[in-house]
Amino acid sequence: MQVDNRTRNNREIERKFLVKQLPEKLKRRRHYPIAQGYLATEPGGRHVRLRKKGKTASLAFKVGRGAHREEREVRLSPRQFAALWPGTAGRRLRKVRYEIPWKNLMIEIDVYRGKHSGVVVAEVEFPDLATCREFKPPRWFGREVTGQKRYSNVRLANE
């Protein structure tokens, strides 16, 4: 997932895996800290997330879980972020994200910090369903956990 200057209103097609072994020279890859927290989360998975990725703040609304989900994301000013962030107290997580180009795709590795230290997952976003189905995971990927609540950010943040 990329946060940029445009607002995003698309459906995501993505898969998530545990990571057996971190790729070599990971620290040389592009990476940045992410802090995120949840303002509200419905039992069905619909939620509103605040995120600071490097210096970029955003608010995202998501519906659904698994390989398909709808997402709407907007950039927030530092002031907007500062006003809303306290509302996520007790529902936050921190991680470092590494970007690993892989064939024509981008693998994002999330190394969790704080109370979730030790959890490492990889996410891959696909341009279409065919690419999603045909994807062959690299050898260093572990078990697939797409759509598993156990490894959803919402769930981890609320633990």
Catalytic residues: 38
Q: Do 123 and 146 form a contact (C-beta atoms < 8 A)?
A: no
Helices (H), 88-128: none
- Report residue 128 as tokens: 């279409």
9 binds a copy of itself (CB under 8 A): yes
C-alpha span between 20 and 68 (Å, rounded): 25
C-alpha span between 115 and 48 (Å, rounded): 22
7 binds a copy of itself (CB under 8 A): yes
80 binds a copy of itself (CB under 8 A): yes
15 binds a copy of itself (CB under 8 A): no
Give me the 84-123 binding string for a copy of itself, x by CB under 8 A, dash otherwise: x-xx------------------------------------
Q: Do 97 and 53 form a contact (C-beta atoms < 8 A)?
A: yes
Q: How far is the CB of 86 from a copy of itself (least distance, A)?
A: 7
Residue from 29, 65, 69, 72 touching a copy of itself (CB under 8 A): that is 72
Helices (H), the chain: 78-84, 129-134, 153-158
Q: Given the rule CB under 8 A, which residues bind a copy of itself?
A: 7-9, 39-43, 46-48, 59, 61, 63, 70, 72-76, 79-80, 82-84, 86-87
